[in-house]
Amino acid sequence: MSELEETSWIELLSSAVKSDQTLGMDKLKLVLQNFNIESPEFMEITSYLRQTSDDFKNLSTADKVTTLTVGVTFLNHANHSVINSFEGCLLDFQKHSLLSLSTDNAQLRNISGSYLGALCEKLGCRVYADMKFSIIELFHEMNNDNSINNSTSDIHATNVPNTESSTNNTHSLSPIHVDETSAQIFRDTVSWKCLDTWISCIQKIATGCGASFAQFVDSDLLSCISCSLNNRERFVRESSCTLLKTFIIQCQIYQYWQQQLQSKENQEITNGTKDKFIDLILKGMSDHWADVRLPACVSAREFILSTRSNDEDDFDEGTLNKFLPALCFNRYSIAIGLQRYSQATWMTITKGLGKKKIEENIGRVLEFYKMQLISGSSECKEMSCQCFNECIKKLDPSYIKPAVGDILSTMKLSGIFRDSVWSARDAACLLALQIIESYNEETSEFVQYLMEEMFVLTEDLAPTVRDSSASVLAALIRNNEDGLPRMIERIQTGLKNIKLIYKDHANKSKGREEEQEELKSELKQQDNTQNQVENLPMTNVEKRVNEFFPSPASPQPQEADNNSNTRPKITFVTLPTGLSTICYSRRSVEPWEVADGCICLLRKLSTNISPSAKTQLTALVPVLADSANVKNYDQRPFYVQTLLKQLPEIYEGLGKICLKRSLELFFDVIIEYYIDTDSSFAPTHHAAVECLEKLGQQLGKSILRERLASYDPLFVEKFVKF
């Protein structure tokens, strides 16, 4: 430690050891806090800065970083008189820092931006005025057309649905087509880092200049920020939104514009700049990434709050109305932090009058929701559906009724029912259900389209989507029973397929297992490598992979080959940044999942329909019982769990006569899982217990006990408590 204490701060800062650099910085700060112009320490610092300034271009990258670090520390701790006497050398470093902003070294770029920010804080905005055009030109050089709009692998185009009907329920996903050279990929993956540093540099300069920087927030600078908001990298877009917040808070941009508007000569230019600034914030609030929307929402909130007059609660109404749709939209973000912040902002801005504000701007709000619905982001589509749903539930029908057709047309255009993310499909089903129940007459033109889409979704891989789509179909049938025969046929086919497909499962499975063991033994004899054994082709029995649920902004995998008996295909997808990721292809739907959707549909149809329709549905009960008794497949407990949960509700809809006539058909499966308390089947066991209790309430506990006793006396004696 004594040797380090005797070492000069210059040597410590030049060390490659991080702890030595920290100690050197501490010693430099101590020197700057206690020196005077005639002290040896001051002479040492000024001599070091002058020497490195003259020979800056020939220094190594590490020495440049050290030199600029000393310069930043000098600016932060020296008083104004010292800085003014040393201004010439400091301005020389300004030129060096400006050139260093485009270097490949991130540390050098960052410290260069910090130096320019510290210099502006001490010498004022004239520093930025001298280098304004150089900084703008530097941005255009670094930008190099690296934006979303001009990209060859546009992230917005990665989720284009195929509207043709699918019989195997594999939702059509468009693969990403990439045609880029290595130079293009290198440019797209490297240049954004320089852009991010450039934005950080402007932010530091704006913070250093303070309110005096507001005069430089003009069309040229906003055009650069607009380009950065189109960048393919979300980090650049996020930094751009943070920069807008700096202009609002640190530079007090709104107050500057209000002063400019007092002069008639500046009104047109100021209003144009103000509108463009608001558009940039709205662009950030509409981004596909929540990480970008959050700083944009912060900027919007601060901008609205800055419009307050002397009365603290009096906001500029025109500005508030422009931000209103985006603020309301982000309350439904799946990112919890953004969701809570947007909700708090909504309460602060609207002061509890949110419904009234939406009604006053209903056209602007609905148009914004529709634009988000046709975006390429699954998250934005889901949020749009939830926002539409809220409007239908809370607003007077006169506001929504004229737009119902446009909403359904937009849903059709967006292909949301075939989206790759299950939560988006589920939200679309819930919105369709709400529209049908609230505006039946306005949906007449879309009945056929909705019915076709819902038929596909009843075979969805996600259970919640199957249930929601069944609710939509039931709502359509309640309004028009012409499609009931088709639905009954669909249910009957789905339930019968379990028995047809799985009936010879046990015998064939045994043969395949023996064949698989022979193949494994042969491979072990050839090469005793565990990797080869693990990568054997899978049989149809083993081929059950988890569904791939990509994130809202992730690229979509290619469709799975339904005729393949091998492991799921691995697709190397090139991201818009040029990097690659591995995506598993979506598996095809299993017969038991199709039947599971049929049970949901039968339960939904059994309620609130005509007596003649109930008679037709009653004929499906024996088919349902037969499907429950098929045992030769691994997922039977999950299928039976759905059946036992829905059975009491099915009987409640079909009536007590149907219950009395067909109850014994389900005794086998109920008793089987009632007495099976294996932990692996615990949910199914609990479903069986609850099913028996609910059936007892419908039929009468004493009657149910007697019928169980005649069917299985031993079961009643040991297990039945009522």
Residues 486 and 629 in one domain: yes
Residue 37 binned pLDDT confidence (cut-offs 50, 70, 90): low
**More reliable by pLDDT, 82 or 280:** 280
The CA–CA distances, whole Å, from 369 to 390, 406, 568, 709 equal: 12, 11, 37, 59
**Same structural domain for residues 494 and 618?**
yes
Q: Which of 97, 108, 189, 106 has its CA nearest to residue 138? A: 97
* Tokens matching residue 274: 């103000």
Neighbours of 1 (CB within 10 A): 6
Distance CA 501, CA 657 (A): 32
Per the structure, the count of domains in the chain is 3
Residues 6+ apart with CB under 8 A from 341: 294, 297, 298
DSSP-derived secondary structure for 250-311: TS-HHHHHHHHTTSHHHHHHHHHHHHHHHHHHHHHHT-S-HHHHHHHHHHHHHHHHHT--SS
Q: How many CB atoms lie within 10 A of CB 392?
A: 20
Cα(458)–Cα(471) distance, integer angstroms: 10
pLDDT of residue 369: 96
Kindly write down the DSSP assignment for every residue of 174-220, as one continuous string. Answer: PPPP----HHHHHHHHHHHHHHHHHHHHHHHHHHHHGGGGGGG-SHH
Report whether pLDDT(173) > 50: no
pLDDT at 722: 60
337 has pLDDT over 70: yes
* Structure token digits, residue 353: 């009058």
pLDDT of residue 66: 82
688, 670 Cβ separation under 8 angstroms? yes
Determine which of 206-210, 687-691, 718-722 has the lowest per-residue pLDDT on average. 718-722
Same domain for 225 and 298, yes or no, is: yes
- Output the domain CATH number for residue 281: 1.25.10
For 297-330, write each residue's pLDDT tens digit. 999 999 999 998 765 667 888 999 999 999 999 9
Which pLDDT value is given to residue 75? 85
Residue 708 lies in a domain: yes
CA atoms of 6 and 2, how far apart (whole Å): 6
User: What is the structure's pLDDT at 346?
Assistant: 95
- State which amino acid sits at residue 104: D
pLDDT in tens, 459-473: 999 999 999 999 999
How many angstroms separate the CA atoms of 234 and 574, rounded?
17
The verdict on residue 26 lying in a domain is yes
Judge whether residue 498 has pLDDT over 70.
Answer: yes
Domain termination site, one of 305, 339, 355 = 355
Residues 599 and 706 grouped into a single domain = yes
> Which of 315, 330, 355 is where one domain is finished?
355
pLDDT of residue 29: 73
What is the band of 603 on the pLDDT scale with cuts at 50, 70, 90?
Answer: very high
- Please give the average per-residue pLDDT across 3-29, as a whole number: 70
The mean pLDDT of 211-225, rounded to a whole number, is 93
Q: Is the pLDDT of residue 151 over 90?
A: no
pLDDT of residue 610: 83
The residue-averaged pLDDT of 508-514 equals 51
Domain membership flag for residue 386: no
Q: Are residues 231 and 303 in the same domain?
A: yes
Helices (H), ranges, 124-177: 126-143
Q: How far apart are CA 49 and CA 43, in angstroms?
A: 10
Phi, psi (rounded to 5 degrees) for 72? -65, -45
> What pLDDT is recorded for position 175?
36
As given in the structure block, the two tokens for residue 660 are 């009395």
Would 415 be classed as within a structural domain? no
User: Is residue 601 a part of any domain in this protein?
Assistant: yes
Position with higher pLDDT, 530 vs 55: 55
Q: What percentage of residues in the chain have a pLDDT greater than 90?
A: 45
Question: What is the model's pLDDT at position 183?
Answer: 53
Nearest residue to 64 via CA among 31, 5, 106, 30:
106
In this structure, is residue 100 part of a structural domain?
Answer: yes
Q: Establish how many alpha carbons lie within 13 A of residue 407's alpha carbon, considering only the half-sphere containing its beta carbon.
A: 27
The pLDDT value given to residue 106 = 86
Judge if 178 and 283 occupy the same domain: yes
Q: Are 12 and 69 in the same domain? A: yes
Distance CA 473, CA 603 (A): 11
Q: What single DSSP character describes residue 39?
A: S
Structure tokens at 290: 């929540």
Q: Is the pLDDT of residue 508 over 80?
A: no
Is 0.85 topped by the overall pTM? Answer: no
Amino acid occupying residue 509: S
Integer Cα distance of 313 and 317 in angstroms: 11
Residue 180 has pLDDT above 80, yes or no: no
Work out the average pLDDT over 175-198.
58
- Same domain, yes or no, for 266 and 338? yes
207/245 same-domain check: yes
pLDDT at res. 144 = 64
SS3 573: strand
**Helix (H, G, I), strand (E, B), or coil: what is residue 571?**
strand
Same domain for 199 and 244? yes
Residue 576: pLDDT over 80 = no
Q: How confident is the model at residue 33 (pLDDT cuts 50, 70, 90)?
A: low
The mean of the pLDDT values for the chain is 80
Q: What is the mean pLDDT of residues 171-200?
A: 57
Mean per-residue pLDDT for 180-197? 61
Q: Is 657 part of any domain?
A: yes
> What average pLDDT score do residues 47-55 get?
81
Q: Does residue 118 sit in the same domain as residue 154?
A: no
pLDDT digits (tens, 9 = 90+) for 410-434: 999 999 999 989 999 999 999 999 9
The pLDDT of residue 450 is: 94
pLDDT value of residue 599? 94
Answer whether residue 536 shows pLDDT above 70.
no
Query: Cα(625)–Cα(498) distance, rounded to whole angstroms?
Result: 11
Confidence of residue 568 (pLDDT cuts 50, 70, 90): very low
Q: Does the residue 407 lie in any domain?
A: no
CA distance 448 to 471: 16
Domain that holds residue 255: 150-355
Kindly tell me if the per-residue pLDDT of 526 is higher than 90.
Answer: no
How far apart, in whole angstroms, are the C-alpha atoms of residue 308 and residue 315? Answer: 5
If pLDDT is split at 50, 70 and 90, which confidence band does 597 have? very high
pLDDT in tens, 359-415: 999 999 999 999 999 987 899 999 999 999 999 999 999 999 999 999 999 999 999
**What average pLDDT does this structure show over 437-466?**
92
One domain for residues 14 and 90: yes
Query: Do 71 and 90 touch, CB atoms closer than 8 A?
Result: yes
